Amino acid sequence: MLASRTPVVYRAKPMTRPIMGFVRNALGLDPPASPDDPTPENRFHPWDQSPSPDLRERAARIKAMATCPVTHKDIQFTCPLSGIPTHHSREAWEKDTEYHKSKRYELLKKVNIYEHDLRSGRPFPEFDFPQDQDYDRMVNMSNWDLFFYTRSFYSMDTEFQLAAVTKMLSYPITIGSVLHQYSPYSLNPKGPITLEGLKSLAALRYTLYPEQSGRFRAGQDTPIRIFILGTRAEAQLPGHVWKQLQYLIPDTSIELHFVGPESFYDREKRSYVQSSTETIVKRIDEKMQLFYHTDFFHVFHEAQDFFPYDPYNDVFFCFHPGFAAPETEEYWMGDTMKALMQTKCAVFTTGFSKEDLLRDISIVQDKYGSELDMLMEPVPNVFGSTKWELNDTNPHEVYQFNMYIAGFRGKRYHAIEL
């Protein structure tokens, strides 16, 4: 994802003949679009004849690993509408009425064109992110478009630019959108946040906005610790992407803790670093630090490395953890989940799809139902990735990163009146 980024310095062109441009505009004569601009037409290639070797290889992998939903044989036929290998043969493709009725080929086509766009070698001015927000300019967190506009990002005119940028920014901005004072998620019944959720978020916002809570003292601010458990792709995002989260919350310093055996990839050794004692620290600036803890959360929890937890300062995020997925369930639902419940801090989790998230939440509720409070009902994530992704072992499974979000927390007991 990141390798495809070409370092391009974007500069606004000097306005050449603005008056002529204005006249042409008034007459409705638009200048012809540049052939470099991405359109669904010029980014469409069948994957097995793709100009990019990566995608030809991926098509071969789908053909090798996936099975046809109709004939249950191997996949040999490339759907002409989406350009992705989906069925065994043309007959099977024609017979698959569910495929045509649900218009799944449109989503598959989006997967196809977005992947080709990232490999097209066009300039990517949208990856030049803005710096500090001016003091008197508010950020609107209602949706991606308003967020980009109020933060003065590059003007993302096409779905291609949105797809490329939102996939990266989805992780920091999802965290930001939950914690921010102008969060798009409001209290029940108008929004998904429960009363318990508001209590947790209010505690966190007390830390995040020291000036508003009237406890601003220079040199004494405690950093907010954001733990990201089971990290994979998100731990490899470069520092300037995480810094976008800090620009949303400029008053408080942030410590991001990536926890999980796949949280630090050593590019020289080409393997994940694994250690339950050492922590890799990356300092972005005085306001933000990244910590990589390369083992399971319960290991550090039992060693009391993160102790003490404070619901005013600590919050947990799990980006598509797969609590209920058969491959990962055993890692999550045992000691790790117990440790999470003991911290009594807010935990927010996202899913690839509604079913994925509901499955995760229901397994947690089944196992720990009496020990937890729901903080946030499962809802579509406002700041999910808009790039459509494809599961290589089943090309009929199309999803987006961070599509749905929910939150829970180990139950806190109230003081008993005597």
Residues that bind other proteins (CB under 8 A): 12-13, 15-16, 18, 21-22, 24-25, 30-31, 142-143, 145-146, 148-149, 152, 154-158
User: What minimum distance in Å lies between the beta carbon of 25 and other proteins?
Assistant: 4
C-beta of 131 vs 152, nearer to other proteins: 152
C-beta of 23 vs 202, nearer to other proteins: 23
Residue type, 204: L
CA 60 vs CA 67, 109, 173, 392: distances in Å:
13, 17, 35, 10
C-beta of 13 vs 137, nearer to other proteins: 13
User: What minimum distance in Å lies between the beta carbon of 348 and other proteins?
Assistant: 25
CA 3 remoteness from chain centre: 18
User: What minimum distance in Å lies between the beta carbon of 19 and other proteins?
Assistant: 10
C-beta of 173 vs 361, nearer to other proteins: 173
User: What minimum distance in Å lies between the beta carbon of 15 and other proteins?
Assistant: 6
User: What minimum distance in Å lies between the beta carbon of 212 and other proteins?
Assistant: 26
Give the whole-angstrom CA distance, residue 118 versus residue 115: 5
Q: Are 372 and 341 in contact (CB under 8 A)?
A: yes
C-beta of 142 vs 393, nearer to other proteins: 142
Q: Are 258 and 232 in contact (CB under 8 A)?
A: no
- Which of 359, 283, 298 lies closest to 324, judged by CA? 359
**Beta-carbon count within 10 A of 376 CB:** 26
C-beta of 139 vs 233, nearer to other proteins: 139
User: What minimum distance in Å lies between the beta carbon of 47 and other proteins?
Assistant: 28
CA 246 vs CA 50, 110, 134, 376: distances in Å:
39, 32, 14, 23
Q: Are 27 and 142 in contact (CB under 8 A)?
A: no
CA quadruple 266, 267, 271, 272: dihedral, nearest 10: 30
